[in-house]
Amino acid sequence: MSSERTPPGVSAAVPNVARMYDYYLGGKDNFEVDRHAAEKVLAIIPEVRGDARNSRAFLQRAVRHLRQSGVDQFLDIGSGLPTAGHVHEVIDGAKIVYVDNDPVVLTHSRALLGHSSGVTVQEGDLREPEKVMARAAEVLDFERPVALLVVSLMHFVTDEEDPAGIIRRYRDLLPTGGYLVLTHVAPDTMPQKADKVSSVYQNASSPFTPRRRDVFEGFLEGFELLEPGVVNTREWRPDATTDRSLVKGDYHLCAVGAKRS
């Protein structure tokens, strides 16, 4: 946002995690305050841009796989800014609901995606599963499988907000035959650096809470994991589109789980 003009009700005084992620991905929908905070993170871990690309590439592979398996409804919570490679750009013939609670994300998403066939943008907060799913059910058919996408988001939910409970509530509301696509940053993937990164995000719109592998695996209780199970993003079904040059910069654990009953 070269003009640094903000939509009504949006503050450019506090770094925003969605706009910082947009900056990591090379997008332009960010403010100086976001770039400044993101550069602080990059000074600690220069590979963060590679990590963002790996996470986005995993999302693309996961939704392509699910689409090829017959899933044609996708609910992307905390979807972020519609930076290159968003879900609607990599699959066809599906209904997609993007959900976010950030005014900048909503404004830009609606402006850019308002005329995209099959795409709906809704306001909603991850921490309110019942409200999010009720609104999504106005567009999606919950009598059929829905793929729930929660990517690069849960590490911005604090322990006090009960992240495991949030995912459990979404699982209970998800139709049988649905899927969960989930990622999370793990501290052991960035030894001695996680605390420094967390300190930067303390001054952003959401704090940063990386969690151990066993905690992430607990989030997936009740889902049948697709092969290869819980892995780093580069390791989930790599294909011809996978950038094998990004050896470093893979700080996300990921998994795709099916709700069988």
Query: Residue 2: what pLDDT?
Result: 43
In degrees, rounded to 5, the angle at the alpha carbon of residue 81 between the alpha carbons of residues 214 and 49 is: 60
Is residue 199 a contact partner of residue 219, using CB atoms and an 8 Å limit?
Answer: no
pLDDT(255) > 70? yes
Query: Residue 117: what pLDDT?
Result: 80
**C-alpha span between 57 and 227 (Å, rounded):** 17
- Kindly list the domain boundaries of the chain, sorted by start residue: 48-258
pLDDT(5) > 80? no
Is residue 216 a contact partner of residue 186, using CB atoms and an 8 Å limit?
Answer: yes
Query: Residue 114: what pLDDT?
Result: 66
**Mean pLDDT of the region 113-127:** 87
Q: How does residue 86 score in pLDDT terms, banded at 50, 70 and 90? A: confident
Q: Report strand pairing: 147-150 vs 73-77.
A: parallel
Highest-scoring range by mean pLDDT, 44-58, 96-110, 216-230: 216-230
pLDDT(39) > 60? yes
69-74 long-range contacts (CB < 8 A, ≥24 apart) are 70/145, 71/145, 71/146, 71/147, 71/179, 73/140, 73/141, 73/144, 73/145, 73/146, 73/147, 74/146, 74/147, 74/149
User: What phi and psi values does residue 231 have, to the nearest 5 degrees?
Assistant: -145, 175
Residues 6 or more apart in contact with residue 10 via CB below 8 angstroms: 103, 104, 107
Query: Residue 225: what pLDDT?
Result: 98
pLDDT tens column, 177-197? 999 999 999 988 888 899 999
pLDDT tens column, 151-181? 999 999 999 999 999 999 999 999 999 999 9
pTM for this prediction = 0.92
48-258: what fold? Rossmann fold (3.40.50)
Is residue 85 a contact partner of residue 56, using CB atoms and an 8 Å limit?
Answer: yes
pLDDT(107) > 60? yes
